[in-house]
Amino acid sequence: MDRSAASESERLSRRVREVEPQGIRVMFELAAERGGDLVHLEFGEPDFDTPDHVVAAATEAAAAGATKYTSNAGIPELREALGETLSPEFGRTVDPASEAVVTNGGVEALHLAIHAVANPGEEVVVPTPAWPNPISQARLADAVPVEVPMPAEAGFAPDPERIVDAIGPDTAAVVLTTPSNPTGRVVEPEAAERIVDAAAANDAYVLADEVYRALTYGEARPRVARVAEHEEWVLTIGSFSKTYAMTGWRVGWLAGPPDVLEEVAKIHEHTTSCVNAPAQHAAVAALTGPREPIREMKAAYRSRRDYVLDRLRAIPGLSVAEPEGGFYAFVDVSALDGSSADVAKRLLADHGVVTAPGTAFGAGGEDHLRLSFANGRDRLAAGLDRLEAMVRDELRD
């Protein structure tokens, strides 16, 4: 094809053209156009400030001259802190020099992992409803995302049978997000072990996205790498964003086999070079500093979760499975007319509440809305009052 005569869209790469904007972002832009008194329940953005000791560590590091490039894999102090944190959780000694890489948030950790292990045309299995980024990241790597819907009738509890059935000789990776975004459901240890076994039998990696693990309510599950007999096929993704209210700091990490992480650090070198130095020092303070701010935030999220569940279950026509972790409620709105996107747009246009339609999380999310309860009680109450008014009006009609 003569590129000089090509249309503007044809001059872009196929990989880019195949990636759609996130449905969450679409709602955010519609909300910006509408304006007015809006209740924002669409983003997973903690409403807490970053703990003071974490901010102080960054300030002190910058003042002391920590403003230059760092190792592609991260400063030694942060990797050492990660090794000390992860070793008891993995049930063995994690070598910080070879088994941990610091990334620009958990999203880059997942992006680098997919690019490191997936060849063009190979498959990346993603149980849905799911955070949409790994689906887009697979396409950007010229891999093929394979969505595996979890059963809505079971509240989207992860079904190992469905996931294992989707794994085959063309599989490069399986993404397990536990707790899930958007459903809050967790992968049980026995299920994780079966999935890793099936992946390993096909020379495929399991990408254990455990960003919300510290926000698990009830009994904490062990990490996927801890229960896996074939740990060499597990890459673990983590982040400081949610646990420590550090979304804007953009610090995450990837842990796994040294041979894979060596390649990950190489890709990192050719994309973002390294995570900014003061933020890495802040992350050290987050890992090694006082735990009370973390406990207070988790207790607040648990209280908000219980409040949101009580309110939603009292609204006729709505239902919701209890989230076992994270700070999202995935609400069944199938009793209302139209698609989940239609319902979300009506709720925004007529009642000023911004939510994320279920289709933003894969086809398996249709008929649902995701509501974030990482918000103050007063705003949650206002948003739920408005949602209840809309539902009662529409069902009465």
- Position 355 scores a pLDDT of 97
Residue 339 has pLDDT above 70, yes or no: yes
Calculate the CA 310 to chain-centre distance. Answer: 25
- The answer to whether the bond into 257 is cis (omega within 30° of 0) is no
Write the DSSP assignment of 11-69 as a string of letters.
Answer: GS-HHHHTPPPPHHHHHHHHHHHH-SS-EE-SS----SPPPHHHHHHHHHHHHTT--S-
| Token reading at 250 | 């953009």
- d(C-alpha 281, C-alpha 278), whole Å: 5
- Position 387 scores a pLDDT of 98
Amino acid at 67: T
First to last CA, the chain: 56
Residue 158: phi and psi, rounded to 5, are: -55, 125
- Position 11 scores a pLDDT of 80
Amino acid at 119: N
- d(C-alpha 301, C-alpha 292), whole Å: 14
β-bridge mates for residue 236, sequence order: 208, 255
pLDDT band, very low/low/confident/very high, at 6 (cuts 50, 70, 90): low
pLDDT digits (tens, 9 = 90+) for 77-132: 999 999 999 999 999 999 999 999 999 999 999 999 999 999 999 999 999 999 99
Residue 89: phi and psi, rounded to 5, are: -75, -30
Residue 31 has pLDDT above 50, yes or no: yes
Contact between 110 and 133 under an 8 Å Cβ cutoff? The reply is yes
Is residue 360 classed as helix, strand or coil in its secondary structure? helix
- Position 104 scores a pLDDT of 98
| Token reading at 365 | 């999310």
With the CA atoms of 72, 75, 81 and 86 taken in that order, what torsion angle do they form, in degrees rounded to the nearest 10? 0
Which has the minimum average pLDDT: 5-19, 138-152, 270-284, 382-396? 5-19
- d(C-alpha 358, C-alpha 346), whole Å: 14
Can you tell me the mean pLDDT for 367-378? 96
Residue 3 has pLDDT above 80, yes or no: no
Burial pattern 130-148, b for ≥16 Cβ within 10 A else e, equals bbbbbbbbbbebebbbbbb
Contact between 197 and 188 under an 8 Å Cβ cutoff? The reply is no
Contact between 175 and 125 under an 8 Å Cβ cutoff? The reply is yes
Question: Who's near 246: CB < 8 A, 6+ residues apart?
Answer: 50, 54, 240, 282, 283, 286
* Whole-Å CA distances, 128 to 61, 99, 295: 41, 29, 30
CB atoms within 10 A of CB 299: 10
Q: What pTM does this model have?
A: 0.94
- d(C-alpha 73, C-alpha 75), whole Å: 7
Single out the residue of 365, 368, 339 nearest to residue 355, CA to CA.
Answer: 368
Which has the minimum average pLDDT: 12-26, 107-121, 286-300, 315-329? 12-26
